[in-house]
Structure 1
């Protein structure tokens, strides 16, 4: 039973747990569709899959996914299959893994250093972006490219709408490019920010998308109108990573500031801030509960990468 106070201070008595295991810093964290496993991708050329208990107790089992020969910059889970995960690496490959065995099931060799990867909501296609601003769409069944497009502007992050009819690109020009899918025909250019747009997140209820920018603002957009309805102004550094929680009620955003901001989507007000010790690379809410995974550029006392990520949202045992 939620207490009255919980409605006003939803994250008050919660704490973070640390998960060490990587040898170098963690670039990406992502939950599977059932919220039972978390994957982390690292500069140490590996990904790991962690079985997370909802209360955070017990020994954490993890499986190492080895095979990439460069940094694993981003990863994403099959939205329809709780044990399939795709990884994008600077080694120009995309790999599909079975998280139960830790074995690589499919491999696609592409033309550039991959930095972005996302699944189509029905699980049939994967979109990959590389450092040369080239987009590749892979058919998951054959694991072969079915579409390639090079853009003449800096492409930062990519996302499908929940209906898969729209494909978004955030750009270095401060715009969000709106493309029709599957044609990838340009539909709209949204003048979203005064500096480069780094990251994008889609509200799981399909009402909004949020964009994080180098101007330190996060903008919230109505998907049906393609209009900006609100901005979040708490961060002071370029916004690197954002995520909606499973109900679409809260938005987490992070930057080089030493905290993660959690704001109410409807009011724009901050409801909680999670302190952190370094610039953040990735934040992602669990799809079933208010657990937030986050990873950044943490260093240990010897000034070497810690290779950890953390999960916020566990009950404080004190």
Structure 2
């Protein structure tokens, strides 16, 4: 049984992204109103806004939480062609009875892109404090913080150039560094002549370079979101893609050469495709163990997908906001409060009428 709570965000324009922190007890939202808001959940499950600030001079497309080992750190990307890294600081108490003053400070502003920055993601904790961005000019940029105690200093360590606009990216979430770092990227280019819209890159420690290892040519429709499932010990990776439907792929590294400088070949196998939304799918996100997937689309529903013991993916639940057509609920969020903590830790819920309608979300 799922129970919903409407959260009125007071954003003044379309909300583009919602992200939970690692523990699922904090939430951040960003909007075309150029603001970012941070929310905290109390012991009764009630969300309240604890910070709100103008983050960019254009629409804020995406945001990403760093692993809590590095502190309370957020990254945001925008139509204004920049990426910002924010850190929550704690000041002194105003009086013995008052709580310490907390505020979010911009630690750096990354200005390498010449076009809209469409996605930003912190890398896995095992890689250190690294950040990947993609932009409408078809370039993936990887940044690294050489000193995690000084977040004002970031190094542009890699640029990966493609000849197609990029809309989204995802790091592989392999624990204990069982596999080489990988990044999957998707394009929302509507040109049918551009071929496959999903690309997989792998980093080679010996050559210190990122190389494209695979293109998923079966996906030719615009891709709006992409997400590697967290990997807690599988010998393969699971990748979810949001396009005109939901698609899931197994990606298994194949060692074909003993040359340490050669790229790993990937065996990419489609394992599920769902058209249950009957419309454009805008977001896909995994729970913290990579066993359940949530997707959202223009139908105003959140659909939960789970793999059974036969390794077949099935729909486990469908969530829809009450009074979804009500104009009075514009610009509010309705996340489920009774989902398991595993889902709650990473799910991003987008619902018609409770978050501004996803069909309005466009990257120009």
Q: How many Å apart are 1:42 and its aligned residue?
A: 0.8
Q: Structure 1's 294 and 136: CA in aligned 2 closer, same or farther, altered over 3 A?
A: same
Q: Structure 1's 265 and 65: CA in aligned 2 closer, same or farther, altered over 3 A?
A: farther
Structure 1 partner of 2:215:
189
Kindly report the root-mean-square deviation, in angstroms, between the aligned alpha carbons of the 2 structures: 3.1
TM-score normalised according to structure 2 size = 0.70
Structure 2 partner of 1:16:
5
Equivalent residue runs for 1:1-318 within 5 Å: 12-53=1-42, 55-57=44-46, 60-79=48-67, 80-99=69-88, 100-111=102-113, 112-122=115-125, 123-141=128-146, 142-163=153-174, 165-171=181-187, 172=189, 173-181=195-203, 183-205=209-231, 207=234, 208-224=237-253, 225-266=267-308, 267-276=312-321, 277=324, 288-291=341-344, 292-295=347-350, 298=353
Q: How many Å apart are 1:116 and its aligned residue?
A: 0.5
Cα pair 1:125 1:140 within 8 Å, conserved? yes
Q: Which 5+ residue runs of structure 1 have no aligned equivalent?
A: 1-11, 307-318
Query: Whose Rg is larger?
Result: 2
Q: Structure 1's 211 and 13: CA in aligned 2 closer, same or farther, altered over 3 A?
A: closer
CA distance in 2, matches of 1:130, 1:151: 10
CA distance in 2, matches of 1:54, 1:270: 30
More strand by share: 1
Q: Structure 1's 32 and 214: CA in aligned 2 closer, same or farther, altered over 3 A?
A: closer
- Name the SS for the 1:294 alignment partner: coil
Q: Structure 1's 240 and 44: CA in aligned 2 closer, same or farther, altered over 3 A?
A: same
Cα pair 1:33 1:287 within 8 Å, conserved? no
Structure 2 partner of 1:7:
none
Q: Structure 1's 203 and 287: CA in aligned 2 closer, same or farther, altered over 3 A?
A: farther
CA distance in 2, matches of 1:161, 1:133: 20
Return structure 1 stretches of 4+ with deviation > 4 angstroms. Answer: 282-288
Cα pair 2:36 2:55 within 8 Å, conserved? no
Q: Which 5+ residue runs of structure 2 have no aligned equivalent?
A: 89-101, 147-152, 175-179, 190-194, 254-266, 326-330, 358-364
Report how many residues are paired: 289
CA distance in 2, matches of 1:127, 1:168: 11
TM-score normalised according to structure 1 size = 0.80
Cα pair 2:225 2:243 within 8 Å, conserved? no
